[in-house]
Amino acid sequence: MKSIKNHLSLVIALLSILFSIQIFTIVDRSVNAYKDNLATNYSLVVVSNSALSEKTIIEADERINTMIELSPDDVIQRLNTGMSTKNMELLKHTLPKFYKVKLKHYPSPGDIESVTKKLLTNQSVTKVENFSQSHDTTYKLLLLFKNVVSLFATSIFVITTLLIFKELRIWQFKHSERMSIMALFGAPTWLRSAVLFRLAITDALITSAVAFGLFAYMSSSSWVLKQFEDIDINIVLFDPLYDFAMLAGVAISLSILLATLIVLGHKEEV
Amino acid sequence: MDKVIIANNLSLSYSNDETIINKASFSINSGSFIFITGASGSGKSTLLKSLYGALKPKEGSLIVGGVELRGVSGSKLNFLRKHIGIVFQDYKLVKEWTIEKNIMLPLIINGYEKSITQNQVESLLKHVRLKHQAGKYPMELSGGEQQRVAMARALSHNPILILADEPTGNLDDYSSQLIWNLLEGANTQLKTTVIVVTHHIPEAMGVAYKHFHIEFGSIHEVN
Q: Please tell me the predicted confidence (pLDDT) of residue A162.
A: 82
Instruction: Look at B109 and A270 and tell me if their CB atoms are within 8 Å.
Output: no
Beta bridge partner(s), residue B12: B21
Q: Is A60 helix (H, G, I), strand (E, B) or coil?
A: helix
Q: Which residues of B138-152 are buried (b: 16+ CB within 10 A; e: fewer)?
A: beebeebbbbbbbbb
Spatial contact of A39 and A139, defined as CB atoms under 8 Å apart: no
Query: Is the minimum CB–CB distance between A173 and chain B shorter than 8 Å?
Result: no
Phi, psi of A103 (to 5 degrees): -105, 160
Query: Is the minimum CB–CB distance between A88 and chain B shorter than 8 Å?
Result: no
Each residue's pLDDT expressed in tens, for chain B with a length of 223 residues: 689 999 999 999 987 678 899 999 999 999 999 999 999 888 999 999 999 999 999 999 999 999 999 989 989 999 999 999 999 989 999 998 999 999 999 999 999 999 999 999 999 999 899 999 999 999 999 999 999 999 999 999 999 999 999 998 878 888 889 999 999 999 999 999 999 999 888 877 788 899 999 998 899 988 7
Taking only the tens place, the pLDDT of each residue in A84-116 is 777 777 777 778 888 999 888 888 888 889 999
Q: Is A234 helix (H, G, I), strand (E, B) or coil?
A: coil
Q: How confident is the model at residue A190 (pLDDT cuts 50, 70, 90)?
A: confident
Q: How many helices (H) and strands (E) does chain A have?
A: 10, 4
Taking only the tens place, the pLDDT of each residue in B28-57 is 999 999 999 999 888 999 999 999 999 999
B contacts of A184 (beta carbons < 8 Å): 52, 54, 81, 86, 92
Residue in B193, B168, B207 with CA at minimum distance from that of residue B66: B193
Own/partner pairs, A51-56, CB within 8 angstroms, 24+ separation: A51/A97, A52/A97, A52/A99, A52/A122, A52/A124, A52/A125, A56/A122
Strand segments (E) across A54-164: 64-70, 97-103, 125-129
SS3 helix, strand, coil % of chain B, rounded to 5? 35, 25, 40
A contacts of B110 (beta carbons < 8 Å): 186
Domains delineated in chain A: 2-37+137-265 (no CATH), 43-130 (3.30.70.260)
Residues with Cβ within 8 Å of residue B49, at least 6 apart in sequence: A270, B55
Q: In the 8-state DSSP scheme, what is residue B65?
A: T
Q: Please tell me the predicted confidence (pLDDT) of residue A79.
A: 67
Nearest CA in chain A to B79: A186
Q: Please tell me the predicted confidence (pLDDT) of residue A268.
A: 66
Q: What is the CA radius of gyration of chain A?
A: 30
Q: Please tell me the predicted confidence (pLDDT) of residue A35.
A: 80
Q: Which helix (H) or strand (E) holds A43?
A: strand A43-48
Taking only the tens place, the pLDDT of each residue in A210-241 is 999 999 999 899 998 888 888 878 888 899 89
Instruction: Look at A181 and B93 and tell me if their CB atoms are within 8 Å.
Output: yes
Q: Please tell me the predicted confidence (pLDDT) of residue B16.
A: 67
CA dist B60 and B8 (Å) reads 6
CA dist B85 and B157 (Å) reads 8
Q: Please tell me the predicted confidence (pLDDT) of residue A80.
A: 66
Min Cα distance A15 → chain B (Å) is 27
Spatial contact of A160 and A16, defined as CB atoms under 8 Å apart: yes
Question: In the predicted model, what is the mean pLDDT of residues A41-45?
Answer: 86
A contacts of B91 (beta carbons < 8 Å): none
Instruction: Look at A270 and B77 and tell me if their CB atoms are within 8 Å.
Output: no
Number of other CB atoms surrounding residue A141 within 10 Å: 10
Q: Please tell me the predicted confidence (pLDDT) of residue B200.
A: 84
Taking only the tens place, the pLDDT of each residue in A169-180 is 777 777 888 888
Residue in B18, B64, B28, B48 with CA at minimum distance from that of residue B216: B18
Nearest CA in chain A to B53: A184
Number of other CB atoms surrounding residue B91 within 10 Å: 21
Instruction: Look at A186 and B92 and tell me if their CB atoms are within 8 Å.
Output: no
Strand segments (E) across chain B: 3-12, 21-29, 33-38, 59-64, 67-68, 84-87, 161-165, 193-197, 210-215, 218-222
Q: Which helix (H) or strand (E) holds A46?
A: strand A43-48
Q: How confident is the model at residue A157 (pLDDT cuts 50, 70, 90)?
A: confident
A contacts of B84 (beta carbons < 8 Å): 186
Q: Is B26 helix (H, G, I), strand (E, B) or coil?
A: strand
Min Cα distance A192 → chain B (Å) is 9
Amino acid present at B128 = V
Indicate the Cα dihedral angle A125, A127, A130, A131, nearest 10°: -160
Three-state SS for B157-204 is: CCCCEEEEECCCCCCCHHHHHHHHHHHHHHHHHCCCEEEEECCCCCCC
Chain B residues with CB within 8 Å of chain A CB: 14, 49, 52, 54-55, 74-75, 77-84, 86, 92-97, 105-106, 108-110, 153
Q: Is B89 helix (H, G, I), strand (E, B) or coil?
A: coil
B contacts of A270 (beta carbons < 8 Å): 14, 49, 54-55
Spatial contact of B35 and B201, defined as CB atoms under 8 Å apart: yes
CA dist A118 and A111 (Å) reads 11
A contacts of B80 (beta carbons < 8 Å): 186
Instruction: Look at A186 and B80 and tell me if their CB atoms are within 8 Å.
Output: yes
A contacts of B159 (beta carbons < 8 Å): none
CA dist A128 and A44 (Å) reads 7
Phi, psi of B135 (to 5 degrees): -90, 0
Write down the pTM of the prediction: 0.69
Q: Please tell me the predicted confidence (pLDDT) of residue B148.
A: 93
